[in-house]
Amino acid sequence: MTYSQNLWLFFTLLFGIIIVPGMDMLFVLANSLTGGRRSGMAATAGIMAGGAVHSLYGVVGVGILASLLPSLFNPLLVVGAAYMAWIGYTLVRSSIVVDTVGADGTRSGWRAFQQGAVTCLVNPKAYLFVLAIYPQFLKPAYGPIWVQGVVMGLMTMATQAAIYGTVAFTAAGSRRALISNPRATIFVGRIAGGLLIAVAMLTAWHGWRASA
């Protein structure tokens, strides 16, 4: 697999994950509905900042592992792929339905930014997810790990900005779409779950082939 193919695979997976309605999307939507577009965009920026921190520790962790304990890199890749497949399985089996989007009273842009960042940073699932995902795509064969990490981090932030920014700018329509189309949200979640399973199988195969 070439580096460009690796990035496209990462982007496909990333897009599928971010577009699934979840806490981050609902947080942006709630802020947009209660505080307007400015508050929604501030919440989006906060989530992006939190995501950048997650990307940073993911890159540092993979870089340390690749340089100090290279023999553990491929086994971790396989374990991470198994965890990623489990997340995908739970998404495929689940029924994601958005019943309501409550107002949290957030109207200050700075407060929305802070809450978005904290919400992202204190989510334990995000830490586990990064530890499972990043070893799949950060490969020493593609060059310096930190350069690859910067590219992936920027891709993550740009995708968050595009998706959550759209939600913030179209808050009323987004709310109607999320609440009135439960089948669509379930379908999106299951598609994302299928992507996770497919990527997990592919990366596990690459890890097994490299260690064989």
Tens of pLDDT, residues 56-91: 888 887 777 666 666 665 666 676 677 767 767 876
| 13, amino acid identity | L
Please classify residue 60 by burial: count the beta carbons closer than 10 Å to its beta carbon, then call 0-12 exposed, 13-18 middle and 19+ buried.
Answer: middle
Asked if pLDDT for residue 7 goes beyond 90, the answer is yes
Per-residue confidence band for 198, with pLDDT thresholds at 50, 70 and 90:
confident
Q: Which range, 30-39, 90-99, 145-154, 198-207, has the best average confidence (pLDDT)?
A: 145-154
Task: From 32, 44, 38, select the one nearest 172 (Cα to Cα).
Answer: 32
The predicted structure's pLDDT at residue 25: 81
The predicted structure's pLDDT at residue 106: 47
Longest Cα–Cα distance of the chain, Å, equals 56
DSSP per residue over 157-169, as a string?
HHHHHHHHHHHHH
- Contact, 107 vs 35, CB < 8 A? yes
Domain coordinates in residue numbering, the chain: 3-8+18-94+106-211
- Contact, 43 vs 31, CB < 8 A? yes
Q: Which residues of 164-193 are buried (b: 16+ CB within 10 A; e: fewer)?
A: bbebbebbeebbeebeeeeeebbebbbebb
The predicted structure's pLDDT at residue 70: 61
Task: From 177, 45, 187, select the one nearest 117 (Cα to Cα).
Answer: 45
Tens of pLDDT, residues 101-139: 555 554 568 888 988 888 778 766 677 678 778 888 888
